[in-house]
Amino acid sequence: MKKLVLPFLVAAFLIPLTAFAGTTWSFPTPDGLTSKAVDTTGTGSAPTLATDGLGLSSIGMRNGFTVIYESTGSAFTACSLQAYIYSANANSGAGLWVRVPDLDLTVQALTAQGFVGFRVTAPRDRIAFVPSGCGQPGNIWLLGTAVMF
């Protein structure tokens, strides 16, 4: 009887967590200048993979990127896109996603909104934005530019 309790508890807690993860990243262009996150809930989870988000090394020094958030349904409620930076640990080879509230973006009650003019001054690691409290599923596009500012 005791042997069945642990697998049941693991399944009862892990399956719901997986179902509500919410945000899946994809990389539509081979040059690494575009990343897309599909969020199914309006409130995503922190990135976990070393390939999530947009690779800043693909963009290069003095170039920039744009963030576009579009609803896949009706208009968002006023909400935010929470910023995360991925930093690889040179000593262990392992990486870590770190929350960076100073880079958060405020989303208005619209069906789409763009944020332009992000400049890359240190082209290393990755950046990702995750919706928080948006009330609708949506797509987050991170579009790098190869034009120097």
DSSP E strands, the chain: 23-26, 34-39, 54-55, 64-71, 79-88, 95-99, 105-107, 112-119, 126-132, 138-144
Average pLDDT (77-96) is 82
pLDDT top residue among 94 and 102: 102
CB 129 within 8 A of CB 84: yes
Whole-number mean pLDDT of the chain?
A: 78
Please report which confidence band the pLDDT of residue 67 belongs to, taking 50, 70 and 90 as the band edges.
very high
For 23-43, what is each residue's pLDDT tens digit? 677 766 666 788 899 988 888
Q: Would you list the domain boundaries of the chain?
A: 22-144
Mean pLDDT of all residues in 98-119: 93
Q: How many residues does the chain have?
A: 149
Mean pLDDT of the region 88-113: 85
User: Is pLDDT of 149 > 60?
Assistant: no
Q: What's the pLDDT score for residue 22?
A: 57
Fold classification of 22-144 (topology level): Jelly Rolls (2.60.120)
Asked if the model's pLDDT at residue 68 lies above 70, the reply is yes
